[in-house]
Amino acid sequence: MRVFLGTDHAGLDLKAQLLRALADAGHEPVDCGAFEYDASDDYPPFCFEVGERVVTEPGSLGVVIGGSGNGEQIAANKVPGVRAALAWNRETAELARQHNDANVVAIGGRQHSVEEATELVLVFLATPFSEEERHVRRIGLIADYERDRHRPAGGFPTTTP
């Protein structure tokens, strides 16, 4: 599977390790940067690159890495069609794929050892979407909202009278 990886300075060392681990596991890792250490670089461009490439290449997945993974998840989710999930343990990595059909995983490089982070990414990549009707329906609601900004029935009003 082709896997796009992007990070700022905070995840540079982890990304280098993941590129090797993914290749060793039979994946085709693609490095979307950063390519050198710059303590003042910004993570959004790298996350946008990963997200755009995942969306335009069906069947691929992405990994965005930062200090916590939070900002990277937020940035990746700004790309229409991306469903990025922050994974902090094995279960969240599995559920992101099983229930949400996440196509990008966000990892906090400063939150995990290289071994732990590698396991989270490999679990994410190995876990299939469940295809359960309730999850398909929920993902459809999100995609519909992303496309035309109409909330589905059943929610609370977004403005007060």
**In the annotation, is 49 catalytic?**
no
Q: In whole angstroms, give the CA distance from residue 147 to residue 115.
A: 38
Q: What gap in Å lies between CA 129 and CA 19, rounded to an integer?
A: 24
Tell me if residue 72 is catalytic. Answer: yes
Residue of 94, 99, 116, 119 marked active site: 99
- Paired tokens of 57: 């290449």
Q: Are 68 and 110 in contact (CB under 8 A)?
A: yes
Active-site choice (9, 49, 52, 72): 72
Catalytic residues: 72, 99
